[in-house]
Amino acid sequence: MEVVLALGICTFVLVALIGLFSSGWKMGRESEDQVQAANLASQIIALRVVSPTNGPTTTAAIPYTKMKQAYGNAYDSADKFVGFNGELLPDAAGAAYRIACNVGTNVSTGSQVSQVYLRLTWPPQAAATNAAGRYEVCTYVLLP
């Protein structure tokens, strides 16, 4: 009788521990995804801080041609994708994230500062509203 009771208690404890491990593993994965997105967003923004008005026009995640224009959507279409290298891709195949970006000057920043809002969502195949994860950042870039 005592052996059966001890086995029951051990089983209960083991099931609880397995549940904790799986939720810890899931939280660790979500944290890793957030860190990767934050690093990529930092890399994308750093490119524009270092070189706000020149650079590649077709593959840069934040087009420099939009930096001095009125604040608005940086892309002609809503669906843009970015790879782990920070360059725009034509579709979700091979993309790391779906990207949205608003950029430009406005009344509160003046003509010498560009406001940049960047949103990365994943997986890239999912619409932004159905994404498993998202990272957003808003910053300002001094223009020459």
* Distance of alpha carbon 47 from alpha carbon 73, whole angstroms: 18
| Vertex 125: Cα angle to 70 and 85 (nearest 5) | 65
Question: What share of residues in the chain are helix, strand, coil (percent, to 5)?
Answer: 40, 30, 30
pLDDT at 140: 94
In terms of Cβ atoms closer than 10 Å to its own Cβ (0-12, 13-18, 19+), residue 79 is middle
Number of domains in the chain: 1
pLDDT at 82: 94
How is residue 64 annotated by DSSP? G
Give residue 23's pLDDT. 79
pLDDT score recorded for residue 12:
84
Query: Any idea what DSSP says for residue 71?
Result: S
Bridge partners (DSSP) of residue 139 are 116
Kindly state the tokens that stand for 8.
């029951």
pLDDT (0 to 100) of residue 103: 94
Closest of 61, 59, 57 to residue 120, by C-alpha: 61
pLDDT of res. 98: 95
Domain around 30 = 2-142
pLDDT tens column, 6-19: 888 888 888 888 87
- Give me the residues of the chain with pLDDT under 50, please: none
Contacts (Cβ under 8 Å, ≥6 apart) of 9: none
